[in-house]
């Protein structure tokens, strides 16, 4: 059973309850793997909610892309998935639409099983969860590997993705591995790399230079000048604008990048397009945090640098997935 999930240590008085819980979770997994539902949800560690969205027609003969999407602070899985808005609905349901963007991606990748695993915790904050779990360096890689191992296919590829505080989950994973495994093919920070510092760079460099088919993409806006009620949102060095540019500066010491721009974006791409950075300008000192996800950001984080890059959509433009929202 440990091949499926890691529940952590349990005390003997609750062992029977934990064992029974494992049975029901395992039963859910068996049903899931048999394709009885395209979306299944369950809990691990007692304070983590896992929701898996897999293609209705999952084919083991195809390559499978398993995208771990770590939720932003303060949002539920349902809000992150999104929905058609009705009068009185909470506005959080209309700002990410990962479920509809996932449908769009599947249309572009018909020869792959594109799976999304939503990662939520009881505190609605991955930085807070890590503070309450001193062994996060062991726990996060363990359940990523366990969940990825559920999918039997021609070849599995892992994508690590997250918005806002979800980036803390990705850095928790990176902190827990000696080197980034070759099974991890894409890492995407959707305005979420607040935790970056130079200690992570050697792992990024080794992975990008030595593992075939890898991609790193980073999205940020100039939050260093953003104001909320007249007050700064972050410090000059505490936001994604500074941290993303710091990561880029480290990469530029070893890799050549081409710079381009639009009316609202500054874009840096490595010559092979393996690495891409998108910086949203902020001339009016506004807050453009979630728009980077909403405006086809999740789609672009998966497809940029591939043959499907900007096909039938544009990053930071009108929603390309509107007709797919349920």
pLDDT at 45: 86
Predicted pLDDT of residue 26: 46
Give the pLDDT of residue 92: 98
- Cα-flanking dihedrals φ and ψ of residue 313, to 5°? -160, 165
CA dist., res. 125 & res. 122, Å (int): 8
Based on its alpha-carbon atoms, the radius of gyration of the chain, rounded to whole angstroms, reads 19
C-alpha to C-alpha distance for 118 and 93, rounded to whole angstroms: 15
Q: How many CA atoms lie within 13 A of 192 on its CB side?
A: 33
Burial of 37 (0-12, 13-18, 19+ CB in 10 A): middle
- List the one residue out of 224, 262, 225, 253 whose CA is nearest residue 240: 224
The CATH number corresponding to 43-324 among 3.40.50.1820, 3.40.50.2000, 3.30.950.10, 3.40.50.300 equals 3.40.50.1820
| Strand pairing category for 155-163 and 112-121 | unpaired
Alpha-carbon dihedral angle through residues 94, 99, 102, 104, given to the nearest 10 degrees = -60
Residue 28's H or E segment, with its range, is helix 15-33
Query: Judging by DSSP bridges, how do beta strands 265-270 and 257-261 pair with one another?
Result: antiparallel
From CA 130, how far away is CA 172, in angstroms rounded? Answer: 8
Phi, psi of 237 (to 5 degrees): -115, 5
Residues of the chain whose pLDDT is less than 70? 1-37
- pTM of the entire predicted model: 0.90
Interhelix angle 166-176/136-148, nearest 10 degrees: 100
């Amino acid at each position: 059973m440990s091949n499926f999930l890691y529940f952590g240590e349990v005390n003997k008085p609750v062992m029977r309850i934990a064992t029974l819980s494992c049975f029901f979770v395992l039963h859910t997994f068996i049903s899931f793997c048999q394709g009885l539902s395209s979306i299944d949800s369950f809990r691990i560690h007692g304070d983590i909610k896992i929701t898996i969205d897999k293609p209705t027609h999952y084919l083991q003969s195809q390559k499978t892309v398993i995208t771990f999407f770590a939720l932003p602070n303060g949002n539920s899985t349902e809000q992150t998935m999104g929905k058609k808005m009705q009068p009185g609905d909470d506005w959080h349901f209309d700002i990410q639409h990962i479920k509809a963007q996932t449908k769009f991606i599947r249309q572009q990748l018909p020869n792959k099983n594109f799976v999304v695993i939503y990662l939520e915790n009881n505190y609605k904050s991955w930085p807070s969860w890590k503070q309450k779990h001193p062994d996060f360096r062991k726990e996060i890689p363990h359940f990523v590997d366990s969940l990825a191992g559920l999918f039997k296919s021609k070849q599995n590829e892992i994508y690590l993705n997250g918005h806002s505080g979800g980036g803390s989950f990705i850095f928790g994973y990176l902190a827990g591995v000696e080197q980034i495994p070759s099974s991890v093919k894409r890492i995407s920070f959707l305005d979420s790399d607040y935790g970056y510092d130079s200690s992570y760079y050697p792992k990024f460099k080794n992975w990008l230079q030595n593992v075939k088919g890898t991609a790193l993409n980073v999205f940020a806006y100039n939050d260093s000048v953003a104001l909320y009620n007249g007050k700064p949102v972050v410090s000059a060095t505490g936001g994604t604008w500074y941290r993303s540019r710091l990561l880029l500066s480290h990469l530029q010491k070893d890799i050549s990048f081409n710079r381009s721009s639009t009316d609202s974006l500054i874009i840096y791409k490595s010559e092979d397009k393996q690495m891409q950075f998108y910086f949203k300008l902020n001339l009016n000192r506004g807050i453009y945090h979630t728009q980077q996800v909403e405006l086809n950001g999740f789609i672009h984080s998966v497809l940029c640098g591939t043959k499907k890059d900007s096909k039938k959509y544009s990053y930071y433009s009108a929603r390309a997935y509107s007709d797919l929202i349920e």
